[in-house]
Each structure stands twice: as C-alpha cells, then as structure tokens.
Structure 1
C-alpha cells in the first residue's frame, strides 16, 4: 500500500506540474494581451532597427502610438524605415546612424541624440554572429573578440546606463533585451558568441530584480531562429517564424514574465533543446551548422 500511494502521489505531482506548464504557456503565448506602451513613456528606442525583429518591433510599437527613435548603422535603411513608419502611423521618428562596433565614445553621441526625450521603452536588439571555430584556431581572433563584446554586450550596458536614470526618476519604464535560446547549452566552436548572449540574459534578469521596485519592467527574450537575413545560414527562412508573427507574440508577453522565448514554437523548441544531452547538441551543431558553414566558406574561397 505504501508503494501504491507513493506511485499515486508521484503521478499526481507530475500531472499537476504538466498542467501548470501548459497553463503558463497558454497564458504567455496564446492569450495575447498587450500593455499600454504609452504608460511607460512617449518614445521607444530601438537598436538594430533596420531589419528583422528590430524593424518589425518598431512598426508594431508605432502602431500602438509610440514615437520611435531608430539607431542602426545603415543611413539609407534608417531613412526608409522612418519614412514608412511615419507614412503608416501618425507618430514621430528620429534616426541616428551608428556602428556599435566603434569605440565607447559613440555612446556620448547617442546620449546627445536621446537628450530630452520621454523614453518609456528601450529595446536592445543590435547584435552580431560571426564566430564559427575553436577559440585559438579562428583567423582574426582579436577582431572577433572585440566585435562580439562591443556589439553584443556593450550596447546592452551602455544603452541601459543612458536610459535607465530617466526611467527611475519618472518611476516607469520598459527594457527588452534580446538574447538567444542557444545559451541553454554550452556549444563548442560557438563559445564567445554564446557567452556574450548569456551575459545579456543574466544581466537582464538580475537588473529586473534590482529595479522592479522603481516601476521598471525588464525582460530577457531568448528567441530561436526567426526568418530574417541573419538566419539564412541556419536553414530555410521561409519555414521559420516570420518577424511579424514573432513580434506580435513576443510583445504580448511583456509585463507577464522576466524571461520569455517570445513565441510558443520557440518555447517548445527550447524545451526540447534543454532535454538533449550536451554531447549530442555538439554533434548536431557540427552536422547542421558548423561543417556546412565551413564548407560553404571553403567553396567560396575556391571560386575566388
């Protein structure tokens, strides 16, 4: 009888746990309710705003009445995105051309650019992905280290340093930081990239606890592959979640959780991902990503 009751208790616990996770997932990803972004402030600042998730987020926030400050490195694309936003939505835009791989002095220019704005939302979206190989065997290793740290880590720190004081003073604000669900496993030949994205996630969650009492909402987002140009090396982008569908889902998770995958498909993929042994993850990465990537590079060099 004792073992029978232990079995019943165990099954009951597992069923309750499953129901809890399903209910939590449904609440986050299927019952889509959006906060009033204007309650945070009149302006949203978006880095890496000319393509993919950044661009789509800009349009969706503009559709909800937000003025948009766009920061990216391509002047022509910035102007085109800003023009399209103003044509489709009755909001203001501001643009700043900035290469985040530059020295720390660039943040003085960004601070001047944002001076005087009622910034309610900051989206740290800019990032780079350029590492494939064992640490010491990569050509231009020093350049890779510099770029990954400057583009994936420094903008999150420095943009937060610029914007957060005003949010604290006004007792309101929203900061959304883009990481990646690949950080849930250590992946050889991707060590620096994964480490920089892990920083974004841990920093975001820790900062959330520090400033929630000040009325500031801070969220870490861990997406999988979204159908953008940056994901072409992973597979067929037509089969991936589109930026529009992803952002529509992701923005509905704001105010509900400190950490999200943004879309139910990405949540399921991440659940499977963490269940796979790390050794097998490395083999899969080698087969589907690293070896094809290296071969494509070698083929390209031969053609030259």
Structure 2
C-alpha cells in the first residue's frame, strides 16, 4: 500500500511543477503590467500642466473622429479648456452637430473638415487632405488628437473578411495618423511647443495576443510605438 501511494506522488509531482511554473510566469507578467500602468499614471500626474492649455500648447486643437465616443469627449474637454477646434470627420451632418454643441457650450471657434480617412493615400483622399492643410494654415495649432479608428471587421479569421476591409483599417488606424500629424507638426516645431495625442488600445498594449483581432491589434501597436 505504501509503495502504491509513493508511485502516485511520483506521477503527480511533474504536474505540480508545471502548474507552479506557469503560475509564477503569470504572476510575473501581471506584476509587470500593473507596474507599467502605475508608472504611467504617476507620469501623467507629474506632467499635468499647471497653467492653461492655450498658453502651454496653443490656441487651436485638431481632433479626428470627434462625433462620438472618446473623440467627442476629447473635443468637448479641449473646448472646456478654451481651445478652438478643427473637427475632422466623414459625416457632414454630425460634424455640424458637434461643432454647434461645442460653440454653444464653451463659446470657442470651430472649423469642420469633411474627410473620410479611409481614403488616405488614394487619389480620392488628396482633395480632403488639401482642405485640411488649408483649414489649419496660419492657426496656432497646439494639440492634435488622432482619435479616428476602425475596428471592423470584428472577431474574424483573416480569410473571412474582404481584403479591402483590412486595407481600410490600415489606412484609418495607421496612414491617417501619420498624415494628420504631418499636417500640423511643422507648425509645432517652428513654435517650439505642441502635443500629439494618439488614441491606442489596450488590446495591443496589455494583452500579449488578441486572437481574431490580429490586424486591429497590429495597427494599434503602430500607434503605441
């Protein structure tokens, strides 16, 4: 009986070793992510501007995708701090609505640029990009918020979605971020001040793998780097 019990212990020991090893790796990863997040919060707190945003960065801000969600909240918050806004989106009616809301609530100036960012780096995207350059020309643009993003197609295998859908995601999540930033960056450099805010995703920062969202996570990782 004693030898039989001994054999059972010998067989279960490797399983316990693997379990403890995996638990240690998981705990180490969780601790790393937590420390990075805490460090990020501490950095944000330390670098919170003590003076007003207009004086620190500039009188104008450019916000892409300002008609809903994070983009709308960012636009309203920047306006609350007194920044005039250049609002960039693809739906003229909703752009007019958010523009009117911002002006009525916070008494700031606004400009709207109708721009389907999925057309960046195509012939159809040249004209709206030119209009964006004209809209910001001569303005003291101190903040740009690259918020516009595409998450569709959602959870699918690569071969299940149309190729054009992936191309559209890359254009909006990567190419548009580059182009919009390039429009305002020279002015920021010449004035020696400015802030570029790129809206990323936890799916590319804190999760080592995002099955069925590989393309989305990859494009958002571009934003983080």
Settle same-fold status: TM greater than 0.5: yes
2:74 is aligned to 57
Q: Classify the secondary structure of the residue corresponding to 1:168.
A: helix
2:152 is aligned to 130
Cα distance change of structure 1 residues 28 and 88 upon mapping to structure 2, 3 Å threshold: same
State the distance in 2 between where 1:158 and 1:85 align. Answer: 25
State the distance in 1 between where 2:68 and 2:142 align. Answer: 22
Matched, 1:73 2:90: yes
Matched, 1:179 2:195: no
Matched, 1:166 2:187: yes
State the distance in 1 between where 2:204 and 2:38 align. Answer: 25
Q: Classify the secondary structure of the residue corresponding to 2:212.
A: coil
1:147 is aligned to 168
How far 1:135 moved relative to its partner? 1.4
How far 1:123 moved relative to its partner? 0.3
Q: Pick from 110, 133, 147 the counterpart of residue 93 of structure 1.
A: 110
1:112 is aligned to 134
Cα distance change of structure 1 residues 24 and 116 upon mapping to structure 2, 3 Å threshold: same
State the distance in 1 between where 2:41 and 2:116 align. Answer: 39
Q: Deviations over 1:77-105 (max 9, x none)?
A: 11111111111112101111111111431
Q: Classify the secondary structure of the residue corresponding to 2:198.
A: strand
The TM-score normalised by the length of structure 2 is: 0.74
Cα distance change of structure 1 residues 34 and 52 upon mapping to structure 2, 3 Å threshold: farther
State the distance in 2 between where 1:61 and 1:111 align. Answer: 21
Matched, 1:201 2:224: yes
State the distance in 2 between where 1:196 and 1:22 align. Answer: 21
Matched, 1:37 2:53: yes
State the distance in 1 between where 2:107 and 2:193 align. Answer: 24
State the distance in 1 between where 2:161 and 2:57 align. Answer: 45
Q: Classify the secondary structure of the residue corresponding to 2:134.
A: helix
How far 1:34 moved relative to its partner? 4.3
Q: How many residues align?
A: 183
Q: How does 1:5-44 map to 2 (within 5 A)?
A: 24=39, 27=42, 33-35=48-50, 36-38=52-54, 39-44=56-61
How far 1:176 moved relative to its partner? 0.3
Q: Which structure 1 residue ranges, 5 or more long, are not aligned?
A: 1-16, 203-304
State the distance in 1 between where 2:129 and 2:214 align. Answer: 27
State the distance in 2 between where 1:194 and 1:63 align. Answer: 32
Q: Classify the secondary structure of the residue corresponding to 1:175.
A: strand
Larger Rg: 2
4+ runs deviating over 3 angstroms: 20-35
The TM-score normalised by the length of structure 1 is: 0.55
State the distance in 2 between where 1:96 and 1:119 align. Answer: 15
How well do the aligned residues superpose, as a CA RMSD in angstroms?
Answer: 2.5
Cα distance change of structure 1 residues 197 and 23 upon mapping to structure 2, 3 Å threshold: closer
Cα distance change of structure 1 residues 103 and 25 upon mapping to structure 2, 3 Å threshold: closer
